[in-house]
Amino acid sequence: MRTGTSIPSEHRGRLLHTIYGWYALTREQADLGPFDTAEKASRALTRHIHIYRGLNNRNPDDQARMHLHDTEHCQRNNCALCVEAKVAQHSMMLVAV
């Protein structure tokens, strides 16, 4: 068994840090989180991938989701990208005032 807090390199692009904590992005209906550390988010993602492996085929929208996220029409539960977008929007509003 591996020890330490290292995060698998394939998880790095799927962990998102917001002011609420760390989220793990999934291909399923809901993202995971928030967690207080990246390691916890990574461990949750490992469990999640293990559970969903083979159940859900990769779909072409996934790549788009990573680059351009439509928060107005997002149907996901607990969506980390929506959280990030709302936080960013709020920060911009604070700057604009």
Does 25 bind Zn ion (CB under 5 A)? Our answer is: no
Does 80 bind Zn ion (CB under 5 A)? Our answer is: no
The stretch near Zn ion (CB under 5 A) out of 6-14, 27-35, 48-56, 72-80 is 72-80
- Radius of gyration, alpha carbons of the chain: 15
Per CB under 5 A, the list member of 74, 87, 88, 92 interacting with Zn ion is 74
Please say whether the beta carbons of 76 and 30 come within 8 A.
yes
Does 81 bind Zn ion (CB under 5 A)? Our answer is: yes
Distance in Å, CB of 80 to Zn ion, minimum: 8
- Write out the DSSP string of 11-50: GGGGEEEETTEEEE--SSSB-EEEESSHHHHHHHHHHHHH
Query: What letter does residue 77 receive in the DSSP assignment?
Result: B
Chain residues 35-64 in contact with Zn ion, contact rule CB under 5 A: none
User: Where on the chain is the footprint of Zn ion (CB under 5 A)?
Assistant: 74, 76, 79, 81-82
